[in-house]
Amino acid sequence: MINFSSLRTIVDQNSAQIVIAIAILLLGIVIGRFLSKLIYKVLLYINLSKILKDSIKLRLPIEEIISYLVKYSIYFISLVISLNQVGISEIVQQTILVLILLMIASILFFAIRDFIPNFLGGLSIHSERLLKVGDSVNIMGIEGTIQQIDMLHIKIINKDKEIFIIPNSVMSKTIIKKRGVEKTKNI
């Protein structure tokens, strides 16, 4: 059975630390949101996504990604400081840190599990220079002209004006017919 009188005594003795911890947490949320919005606007102003798109053909909302990382990093830091203020032991903080890092790692893994093979395939396609925009190809039974070659996929348009987007990871594992010559590509 829970002894409420001892719990009340603990709360009374530590009420100042609890209030400070809540204030730190709220301040962390405010600062995190503010810096996230500020960084997002600055990155939009310098046009970072366009720079990355033009230089390495990477189409990601990099402004959003970086601003979210900043926001949640500040949230996490304020949470750790708040827990420390209340006197929660290092073991609990380390356990929380490990769980959060595992969660972030698993989210990142599932988010980029298709990105990495496609990106590596794109590097292979760009470095070997076997294909270029305007080439007539037959890939997996899809005949058409290459319209675009990115780091993640290739766009092909056929004679019926249908557009096919083929991931580079598939391209690196299939036979590609180019102007009547069969070429096999493997990474």
What pLDDT digit, counting tens, does each position of 11-46 carry?
677 788 888 989 999 999 999 999 999 999 998 888
**Three-state secondary structure readout of 52-104:** HHHHHCCCCCHHHHHHHHHHHHHHHHHHHHHHHHHCCCHHHHHHHHHHHHHHH
Bridge-based pairing of strands 153-157 and 181-184 is unpaired
Instruction: Give the model confidence (pLDDT) of 88-125 as tens digits.
Output: 767 777 888 888 889 888 888 887 777 777 788 777 77
Q: Give residue 151's pLDDT band: very low, low, confident or very high (50, 70, 90).
A: confident
Cα–Cα distance for residue pair 115/121, rounded to 1 Å: 10
Q: Which residue type, as a one-letter code, is found at position 149?
A: I
The CATH code of domain 120-184 reads 2.30.30.60
Domain 4-113, CATH number (from 1.10.287.1260, 3.30.70.270, 3.90.180.10, 3.40.50.620): 1.10.287.1260
Domain boundaries, the chain: 4-113, 120-184
Q: Which residues contact 179 (CB under 8 A, 6 or more apart)?
A: 135, 136
